[in-house]
A = this chain, B = another copy of it.
Amino acid sequence: MDQNKQTEIASLGEFGLIDTLTRDFPLRNSESVKGVGDDAAILRFGEEDVLVTTDMLLEGVHFDLRYVPLKHLGYKAAVVNFSDVYAMNGTPKQITVGIGASSRFTVEHLEELYSGIRLACEVYGVDLVGGDTCASASGLVISVTCIGTARKEDVVTRDGAKPTDLICVSGDLGAAYMGLQLLERENSVAASHGPGFQPDFAGKEYILERQLKPEARRDIVAALREAGVRPTSMMDVSDGLSSELLHICKDSDTGCRVYEDRIPIDYQTACMAEEFNLNLVTAAMNGGEDYELLFTVPLVDKEKVEKIKGITMIGYVTKPELGCALVSRDGSEIPIRAQGWNAFTSSQGNPE
């Protein structure tokens, strides 16, 4: 290893790092339509486009087995990949799963993990077609690759938003983040009370489920198709609304205005924010892991979209020189900055 110049990974951030590492990889094969830089890669083998996306989940970084059951973890590991394919307006068809497990895991543990993967495959009609299972020196590693299909003309990338397009989001935001806060608090309370402590999650089932068992919004993709609406850009909200808005605006060369009072938030999320004394809008804008769909539609489709349940119009696309801003309740504009979950900065506190 060259010891001359060494740059901390955290100093680049996740996206800066990916840019740095992948910029010198030209696409050589005619089948490779689009490489790094969207929810999924686009490959063309026949009549339909083939979408490929991959995600890695690491114990101690992405999940904590003290409060995430293995079955839920398996379900989530699969579903977040399906979500990436839906976010391209495609249908997930196959997954491969790579597992690294240390000797503290038994066959029964892995069967529990796979029972969650199996349930996700059943619910979403996806086939497990391959994988790799090996020992790890420490902890659990899960790597999932998902393959999906879409008709060529249906594929939606991040770079098609146009000024005056409406910005829409499905479901509600911030709940998964609040669910994580709740799990972490109950876990630390449990630790101080010793065995026998039973956490009380009554009235908080929704935010817990949003964190532990997220769903991919294939219903929204189907409803848009049925209504004859093709989004001009789309992605799923995994890192946080702020981060995803900036991705779409950067790739589409636009700005945006999003209205604070239009951001959909569930009442359980709001209650927890108050209980935890957390800023609700910050949680909704930057919490991440909601796996809702963020997309833009032409203004002419406004009425069609309004008729679809579970979609909220939160703002509109502008020319790039106007930048990206959140319009607060009092009408003032706050520049949107990416404060999404950053795997590298969040890792600084982890033991080596």
Contacts and interface: CB of A to CB of B under 8 A. Distances in A.
Interface of A: 1-2, 5-12, 14, 17-18, 20-22, 24-29, 31-32, 34-36, 40-41, 43, 45-48, 50, 52-56, 58-62, 69-70, 93-94, 96-112, 114, 118, 121, 125-139, 141, 143, 145, 147, 149, 343-344, 346-348, 350-352
Nearest to A342: B135
Closest 10 CB pairs of A and B: A46-B46, A135-B347, A60-B137, A41-B129, A143-B143, A56-B98, A7-B107, A134-B343, A6-B106, A35-B129
Contacts of A351: 137-138
21 contacts: A1-B69, A7-B108, A9-B105, A29-B94, A29-B127, A35-B127, A35-B128, A41-B94, A43-B93, A45-B149, A46-B46, A52-B130, A54-B97, A56-B100, A60-B136, A61-B134, A103-B350, A133-B343, A134-B344, A135-B346, A137-B347
B58 A141 contact: yes
A97 to B, nearest CB: 8
A16 to B, nearest CB: 9
Contact of A18 (B9, B24, B93, B133): B133
Main secondary structure of the interface of A (DSSP, over half): mixed
Contacts of A56: 98-100, 132, 134, 141, 143
Given A103-B347, A137-B350, A145-B145, 11 more contacts: A5-B108, A9-B101, A11-B107, A17-B107, A21-B111, A35-B127, A41-B94, A45-B149, A50-B50, A58-B136, A58-B141
Contacts of A121: 25
A162 to B, nearest CB: 26
Contact of A106 (B7, B111, B129): B7
A160 B187 CA distance: 54
A138 B139 contact: yes
Nearest to A145: B145
A32 B350 CA distance: 40
A35 to B, nearest CB: 4
Contacts of A133: 14, 17-18, 21, 343
Nearest to A70: B1
Nearest to A44: B46
A350 B127 CA distance: 34
A121 B36 CA distance: 15
